Amino acid sequence: GADSPLKHEISHGFEYADCWVDDARLVVLNAMAAREQGAHIHTRTRCVSARSSKGLWHLHLERDDGSRFSIRARAMVNATGPWVASFYDEQLRQRSPHGMRLIQGSHIVVPKLYDGDHAYILQNEDRRIVFVIPYLGQFSLIGTTDQEYHGDPTRVQIADGEIDYLLDIVNAHFTHQLAREDIRHSYSGVRPLCDDESDQPSAITRDYTLTLNNGGSDAPLLSVFGGKLTTYRKLAEAALAQLAPLFPEMKGAWTRGATLPGGEHFDDPSTLAHALCASYPWLPGPVARRWTNTYGTRSWLLLKGTERIQDLGECFGAGLYAREVDYLIVEEWALTVDDILWRRTKLGLFLQAAETARLQQYMDSRTAERLTTFEHAAQG
């Protein structure tokens, strides 16, 4: 129609519904869920070496600050994603049963291209599709790309060719034309795909391969090659089914209908936001809406014991209060400004440089105190 953001020569479209997820939050919520089931989570810790002896794995681990510790385990799962094959070389000193191919995918964030909450799937000449997705109210998220990546997965970043590729396809479809200076943020990742020797990155199997091998030892080692977010729980159940014979006391699969932390007693974000504002009338509406989208019913924990807005502590900008920062340090393992602004929230898109610097000072003082309980933090 006349009000369409698309070029007028585009006359046909198809509509379907899909789900979206914030991958960084999905990861942290799974770690929280595991912790609440009794797991010990060691963030920012790498495995230096793993060797098996007399039916046990002996793992040497190193924390960010260089301190080391050891643990023993009856079984080990190598679910290191892009590092699954290199883990064999470096930590196990063995040959990996499968090769990996790393396929880079990059996204850009631009000021929003159109109103409304629908996404677009753009069909490209190279038979790939690119999504344009409404993002955080003020932006459009555009991605993704598909190119072979060689090198250290921690250093992946968007390439010039990828920026051109994404801008070109959007400009071919939308009346509003984008230039490089419109890009507010970009991010890249690598998809670890099991090498099936196909020529097209987009054709390589998106499936996963599980190998249970004793690596020449009597302690079981399960490795996960490939896999993707959408089916992560099916993958986990398949993995545990392979380990079940070795752990006779293991209970059956249970995650199919399990909610993630914050998803309990949850109808939808707007109903929850209204409930928060009814109980805490001084809470700013935009903060209530963002919290319910980010933390779900854990938002009540953020407000426990507060009686007025001052109880949320200092505001660093964009509705980020000290109370939320303390919560993220204690409950969600946040240590750095990037953890807060990009991994746990996406507030990095909204904070100015001076506000970020002030947040850094606050984080430094908080981590020096080593916050251990959130309640204590709230009174600070």
Q: Is the pLDDT of residue 200 over 80?
A: no
What integer pLDDT is reported at residue 213 of this predicted model?
Answer: 81
Q: Is the pLDDT of residue 204 over 80?
A: no
Q: Is the pLDDT of residue 298 over 80?
A: yes
239-278 pLDDT tens trace: 999 999 999 999 999 999 999 999 999 889 999 999 999 9
Q: What is the mean pLDDT of residues 147-168?
A: 96
Q: How far is Cα 333 from Cα 380, in angstroms, rounded to an integer?
A: 19
Average pLDDT over the chain reads 92
Q: Is the pLDDT of residue 3 over 50?
A: yes
What's the token pair of residue 240? Answer: 């545990």
What integer pLDDT is reported at residue 380 of this predicted model?
Answer: 46
What integer pLDDT is reported at residue 43 of this predicted model?
Answer: 96
What integer pLDDT is reported at residue 238 of this predicted model?
Answer: 94
Q: Is the pLDDT of residue 375 over 90?
A: no
Q: Is the pLDDT of residue 373 over 80?
A: no
49-79 pLDDT tens trace: 999 999 999 999 999 999 999 999 999 999 9
106-126 pLDDT tens trace: 999 999 999 998 999 999 999
